[in-house]
Amino acid sequence: MERHFYSVGLADVPHWLLETPTRESGEAFAEPWMFADGRVLPDPGPIKAQVSHPGEKRTFVFAGVEETPIGSEAVANVFRTLAPGDVQLFPVTVEGESERYFVVNATKVVDAIDEARCREVHHYDEDDPSPYYEGEYNWIYGLRIDPSKTEGAQVFRLKKFKVAFIVSEEVKIALERVGNLGLSFERVTGPHDPR
């Protein structure tokens, strides 16, 4: 039976906006995108996140332009239970909140994009000659991955398209049980839904 996976993004629902996490002192990290880069990180020490737009508080959101995943204690417990080897959880103090939150750093990167089954792909080298991004995907519409290439991971980023935060169906269901998410889940396995 084929395993299903989902790309996680911000949902079109009212939600608060959090800024990119910084050190507790307010100093920016040298690599503010590091929590979305798919690698094991050294302990960054105390972290904080400012609220840039109050909105409706949610249990899981993506913060700042880097889209750092930040979740509540209940969300962190989902990842602790179902994907302990795939993520690091770093406590983050959210401005004005007594509840504990965590940066969810996916530490696995897998080469599982099934380009032939994606609806449309755009490479950086087509639109942007920057050698830094050469060969990577600028954007993918109708993303599809090959679940046989996920190396048993429950949570991961994709090689050449790290902006995608991918979770297994088991993780998706457990997150939905937590509820009050500021997220949407788009299936990235199996056939495309007819339109």
Tell me, what's the pLDDT at 65?
87
Tell me, what's the pLDDT at 128?
58
- CA quadruple 116, 122, 126, 132: dihedral, nearest 10: -110
Q: Where are the domains of the chain?
A: 5-110+143-187
d(Cα 151, Cα 141) in Å, to the nearest integer? 24
**pTM score, whole prediction:** 0.91
Tell me, what's the pLDDT at 133?
64
Mean pLDDT of the 75-95 span:
97
pLDDT in tens, 102-135: 999 999 999 999 999 989 888 776 555 565 666 7
